[in-house]
């Protein structure tokens, strides 16, 4: 096992969030483990603000301005994924309609 801190950041989320056992992690190639972590990170970013409206985000951003940036990244990723899947987005405002 590697003694680097990167190994800790890789193994703990795999065990905790994806429910992998230590044996499964040891028997899986590192490239696959990194792919699982990338996919989990994307999933987390996509669904981080499910159930929140833009008004909720505005309220949260009053206390923590970083929320607005994170929400924007989440929405951009969602739009890219929907475009790749061929889904049409609902137009939210007149400025988006003009684009």
Per-domain boundaries in the chain: 5-47, 54-98
Query: Nearest 5°: CA angle at 54, between 94 and 17?
Result: 130
Is the full-model pTM beyond 0.85? no
pLDDT at 1 over 50: no
Rounded CA separation 14/20 (Å): 6
Model confidence at 10: pLDDT above 80: no
Contact 63, 41 (CB under 8 A): no
Retrieve residue 80's tokens. Answer: 């890219």
| Confidence tier at 3 by pLDDT (50, 70, 90) | low
Residues 6+ positions from 21 with CB-CB distance below 8 Å:
15
Within 10 Å of residue 28's Cβ, how many Cβ atoms?
A: 14
Residue 2 pLDDT greater than 60, yes or no: no
Q: What pLDDT score does 79 carry?
A: 87
């Amino acid at each position: 096992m590697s003694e680097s801190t990167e190994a800790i950041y890789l193994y703990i989320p795999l065990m905790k969030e994806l429910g992998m056992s230590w044996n499964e992690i040891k028997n899986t190639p590192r490239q696959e483990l990194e792919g699982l972590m990338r996919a989990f990170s994307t999933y987390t970013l996509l669904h981080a603000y499910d159930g929140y409206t833009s008004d909720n985000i505005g309220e949260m951003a009053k206390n923590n301005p970083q929320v607005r940036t994170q929400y924007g990244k989440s929405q951009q990723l969602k739009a890219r994924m929907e475009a790749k899947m061929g889904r049409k987005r609902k137009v939210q405002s007149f400025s988006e309609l003009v684009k």
